[in-house]
């Protein structure tokens, strides 16, 4: 006779069964929380993905800068990066479009490591390749200007051989570094909203999986 360990019922099970779910969790410390508490939180908690997208769009809007020094401000640059990706046939790749649009949103909070900032936000919603591109895009973008600042334009070579190296190089070379043209016919934000809504509809990976792979 084979013994199969019985799986405990989860909050998701209670919701799926249509069990009555109370409206509020009652614990005062998490160690004492119950599956009923987590069913309440899961069912009635904050609509997290849509809140994340709303905050991302607010951050994107913060990149508008009438007194910008670049040929276009970072808001226009972001839309233009997404436009170039879209017109390069990536219009069916929601995650790449989201990455192109949002890759610089950390510029205010973490100007010197804004790739990591945005990558951390996108991580639950995109495939590992897209996460990696956003996380490392500064170094790949640097190939086009680090030498003007006394830096090493070939710094990205330290990552050569990584499975996502070539895709990140192409993203930066073709979309990011070319997206500073004031004369370019940049697409409006509205054109990208369906893709963004799909990406942020729900996390691809849940909390317990995120803990395991960090
Ligand atoms: Fe950037
Ligand atoms: Fe950029």
Q: Hey, what domains does the chain have and what are their CATH numbers?
A: 11-44 (no CATH), 51-199 (1.10.3210.10)
Ligand nearest to the CA of 135: 1
- The pTM (predicted TM-score) of the whole model is 0.86
- pLDDT, tens digit, for every residue of 59-75? 999 999 988 899 999 99
Position 214 pLDDT exceeds 70: no
Instruction: Output the CA 172–ligand 2 centroid distance in Å.
Output: 8
Instruction: Output the CA 100–ligand 1 centroid distance in Å.
Output: 10
Instruction: Output the CA 133–ligand 1 centroid distance in Å.
Output: 11
Q: What is the distance between the alpha carbons of residues 68 and 25, in angstroms, rounded to a whole number?
A: 48
Position 211 pLDDT exceeds 60: no
Tell me, what DSSP letter sits at residue 124? T
Q: Which residues surround ligand 1, an ion (CB under 5 A)?
A: 104
Ligand nearest to the CA of 70: 2
* H runs (alpha helix) in 88-177: 94-102, 114-122, 128-141, 165-170
């Amino acid at each position: 006779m084979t013994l199969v360990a019985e799986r405990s019922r989860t909050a998701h099970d209670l919701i799926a069964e249509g069990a009555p779910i109370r409206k509020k969790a009652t614990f005062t410390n998490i160690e004492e929380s119950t599956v009923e508490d987590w069913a309440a939180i899961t069912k009635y908690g904050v609509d997290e993905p849509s809140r994340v997208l709303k905050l991302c769009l607010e951050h994107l809007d913060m990149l508008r800068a009438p007194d910008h020094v670049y040929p276009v401000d970072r808001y226009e640059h972001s839309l233009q990066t997404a436009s170039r990706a879209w017109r390069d046939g990536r219009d069916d790749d929601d995650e790449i479009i989201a990455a192109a649009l949002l890759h610089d949103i950390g510029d205010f909070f973490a100007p010197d490591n804004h790739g990591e900032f945005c990558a951390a936000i996108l991580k639950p919603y995109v495939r590992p390749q897209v996460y990696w591109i956003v996380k490392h895009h500064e170094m790949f973008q640097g190939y086009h200007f680090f030498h003007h600042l006394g830096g090493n334009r070939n710094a990205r070579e330290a990552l050569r051989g990584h499975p996502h190296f070539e895709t990140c190089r192409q993203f930066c070379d073709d979309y990011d570094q070319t997206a500073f043209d004031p004369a370019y016919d940049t697409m409006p934000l509205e054109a990208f909203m369906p893709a963004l809504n799909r990406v942020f509809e729900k996390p691809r990976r849940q909390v317990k999986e995120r803990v395991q792979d960090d």
